[in-house]
């Protein structure tokens, strides 16, 4: 079947594997992949490094004008650059994880990132993952997926990920951080995390990477077969 260009929006809770699925799906389809979560993490890193007061909207607005974000693909995969510097490894550390939900809840930040995301997706043939892709950024996306998993399983995955990076945190600390991020993401006033009415829910608590990818590819093929695309 000839490849068709559509927008695929993958939303869901923290540590449910959105980025992994989006990357694998992009590779399988030959689509561009954009991690909107990484964009918010990069902004958070900039705010931390520059002591930006999150409660001062004027300061936040000025800081956002100094931020340039882009992605590059290479031998190390898809990497995010903040003002020309590769920060892919830095944004995965705990200081960013502890603050990113607060930063992402700021209206000025969300508006700036949504504008960039919409610009990136104009040509279609793209996979984006985040919290509000199917509800706010691309409400007309041809395929919307809401990815979820049991909270304990999500905590286990995040705990193993951090341990592999040499970060010594207890399971309970990781769980508390994850649940707090869920709370902030789901209750924020601007673009809260929620399932789009027309999104397909995939619970991957008991699915491996191959199984969830194949399930998603089936959904893509079904969309491609629709005459309106």
Task: Print the domain residue range for 98.
Answer: 7-223
Mean pLDDT, all residues of the chain: 91
* Inside any domain, residue 57: yes
- Asked whether the beta carbons of 54 and 102 are under 8 A apart, the reply is yes
What total number of domains does the chain contain? 1
Name the most confidently modeled range: 14-23, 121-130, 164-173, 199-208. 199-208
Whole-number Å distance between alpha carbons of 38 and 109: 13
**Res 165 pLDDT > 70:** yes
The CATH number of residue 160's host domain is 3.40.50.300
Q: What is the DSSP letter of 112?
A: H
Is residue 41's pLDDT more than 70?
Answer: yes
Q: What is the pLDDT of residue 99?
A: 94
Average confidence (pLDDT) over 23-47: 93
In a domain, 229, yes or no: no
pLDDT for 227 equals 52
48-79: pLDDT as tens digits? 999 999 999 999 999 999 999 988 877 777 78
Q: How far apart are CA 161 and CA 169, in angstroms?
A: 11
Residue 228, in any domain of the structure = no
- The 8-class DSSP code of residue 137 comes to I
In a domain, 2, yes or no: no
């Amino acid at each position: 079947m000839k490849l068709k260009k559509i927008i695929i929006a993958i939303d869901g809770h923290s540590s449910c594997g959105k980025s992994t699925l989006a990357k694998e799906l992009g590779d399988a389809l030959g689509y561009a992949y954009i991690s909107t979560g990484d964009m918010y993490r990069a902004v958070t890193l900039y705010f931390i490094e520059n002591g930006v007061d999150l409660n001062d909207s004027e300061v936040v607005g000025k800081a956002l004008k100094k931020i340039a974000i882009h992605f590059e693909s290479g031998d190390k995969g898809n990497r995010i650059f903040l003002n020309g510097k590769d920060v892919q490894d830095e944004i995965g550390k705990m200081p960013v994880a502890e603050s990113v939900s607060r930063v992402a809840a700021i209206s000025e930040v969300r508006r700036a990132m949504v504008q960039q995301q919409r610009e990136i997706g104009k040509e279609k043939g793209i996979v984006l993952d985040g919290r509000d892709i199917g509800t706010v950024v691309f409400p007309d996306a041809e395929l919307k997926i809401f990815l979820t998993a049991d909270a304990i399983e999500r905590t286990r995955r995040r705990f193993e990920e951090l341990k592999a990076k040499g970060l010594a945190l207890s399971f309970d600390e990781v769980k508390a951080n994850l649940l707090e991020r869920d709370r902030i993401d789901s209750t924020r006033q601007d673009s809260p995390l929620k399932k789009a009415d027309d999104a397909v829910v995939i619970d991957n608590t008991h699915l491996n990477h191959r199984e969830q990818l194949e399930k998603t590819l089936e959904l893509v093929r079904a969309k491609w077969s629709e005459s309106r695309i």
